[in-house]
Amino acid sequence: MNETYRAMQVVAPGVLEMTERPIPAPGPDDVLIKIEACGVCGADLRDAEKAPQKGQPGRIPGHEIVGYIVRKGKKVPDIWQTGQRVGIGRLGGYCQHCSPCRSGLFHLCENQLTPGLSCDGGYAEYVVMRHTALIAIPSALSSIHAAPILCAGTATFNALRNSGARAGDKVAVVGMGGLGHMAVQYARKMGFEVTVVARGSEKEHAALQLGAHHFIDTLKENVSERLKTDGGVDFIVATIPNSEAVSALVSSLAPRGKAILLGSGQSPLQVTPGMMIGAERTLTGSFVSTPLQTERALQFSHLFHTLPVTEQLPFERANEALSRLKQGLARYRIVLTMNQDNSSHDH
């Protein structure tokens, strides 16, 4: 094994540059992973905008990591072995002793590390991570397909799986980007009647191809009125950060309908209490899930062929990947690869 590895680190807000660092030794509870692929997520844009701390090495972004364990600490349990392919999502390992952990809510751990933000992430050839963050990758899934499921996939899969929706219920997916294109596929394969709400008619073909039954173009129609005319929807999965657009749709929920927030916008929602009380509607958020639940999302994706549509770039072009994402040009998830010659598309 080499003594150093290459990584893309933040050197100024929104700017990454290649660096070379000594390969770190894993601590007792950690593993060292040789990275094969790392997905590019919207949260990476926010992480990369944070200025480096003075006197500290630049943070390495990335939290949709797939690679192989090459070293493990003495306290790492035997379910994890060197040579095993594993993934890391947005959650960098729970502590096992805080109140949420003791309640079994490991994904809500108060001391959770965040790859790319509070610890180094996956735009690199190697990374050290707590063993409690590890996710087993099914052998049938490619690393390219598995990487986006570790964040966008598990977020949408578990939002739907835990929503209370039953076969035949009407589900509206708001947004047709990295999260939305996964939510559509999961909703269709879970047996729901799926409507995609997105901006621009050019997205209609892709939405229907991925499993939507209906498409509403926000540029051409009043979405809330259209949904009400169609009898309302039982569930709304909002993958966009546009609070105003999401607020306008809550009234189109059927009685006892539920809106699930996945896109983290900065502005507050505008919802009147009467709108919620009169029809006993629910507004809730959903976070990415535990390693075990993410493994279920991966297995479901394999069994039902609900796979991300990806573009591949070598990780040396991480700045280009973030730029494409920022401009809304990614279709639908960009995956960085650690091999020199990957720059193809994978659908």
What's the pLDDT score for residue 65? 98
Question: What is the percent of the chain where pLDDT is above 70?
Answer: 98
Judged against a pLDDT cut of 70, whether residue 222 lies above it is answered with: yes
Q: How many CB atoms lie within 10 A of CB 168?
A: 9
8 A C-beta contact, residue 269 and residue 108: no
Q: Which CA distances in Å does 21 have to 3, 31, 126, 139, 148? A: 8, 17, 10, 31, 26
Measure Cα distances from 256 to 160, 168, 275, 282 in Å.
16, 16, 11, 7
Q: What does the pLDDT read at residue 54? A: 83
**Pair of tokens at residue 63:** 């939290």
Mean per-residue pLDDT, 151-175: 97
The residue-averaged pLDDT of 235-261 equals: 95
The pLDDT of residue 29 is 97
pLDDT of residue 344: 40
pTM of the model: 0.94
pLDDT at site 337 = 98
* Residue 313 pLDDT class (50, 70, 90 cuts): very high
pLDDT over 50 (residue 341): no
Taking residues 25-53, what's their average pLDDT?
94
pLDDT bucket at 346, cuts 50 / 70 / 90:
very low
Specify the pLDDT at position 347: 42
Other CB atoms closer than 10 Å to residue 13's CB: what's the count? Answer: 10
The pLDDT mean for the chain works out to: 94
Cα 11 from Cα 216, distance rounded (Å): 42
Backbone angles phi, psi at 341, to 5 degrees: -110, 15
User: How does DSSP classify residue 229?
Assistant: H
State the Cα–Cα distance between residues 131 and 147, nearest whole angstrom: 18
- Average pLDDT on 217-226 reads 95
Q: How does pLDDT run across 78-88, given as a tens digit for each residue?
A: 999 999 999 99
Cα 202 to Cα 196: distance, rounded to the nearest angstrom: 13
Domains along the sequence of the chain with CATH: 4-152+289-346 (3.90.180.10), 163-285 (3.40.50.720)
pLDDT value at residue 53: 82
Helix (H) and strand (E) counts for the chain?
11, 16
> Does residue 230 have a pLDDT over 50?
yes
What mean pLDDT do residues 173-180 have? 96
Given a contact cutoff of 8 angstroms between Cβ atoms, the answer to whether 41 and 52 are in contact is no
**Is the pLDDT at 173 greater than 90, yes or no?**
yes
Mean pLDDT across 11-28: 96
Residue 128 has pLDDT above 50, yes or no: yes
User: Which pLDDT band, with edges at 50, 70 and 90, does 55 fall under?
Assistant: confident
- Give pLDDT tens digits for 272-305: 999 999 999 999 999 999 999 999 999 999 999 9
CA dihedral 167, 172, 175, 181 (to 10 degrees): 20
* pLDDT value of residue 333: 95
Instruction: Using alpha carbons, list the distances in angstroms from residue 292 to 34, 78, 279, 309.
Output: 22, 16, 35, 24
Region class of 96: left (phi > 0), else alpha (psi between -120 and 50), else beta: left
Q: Is the pLDDT of residue 181 over 70?
A: yes
Hey, which residues does 12 pair with through a beta bridge?
15
pLDDT reading at 157 higher than 70: yes
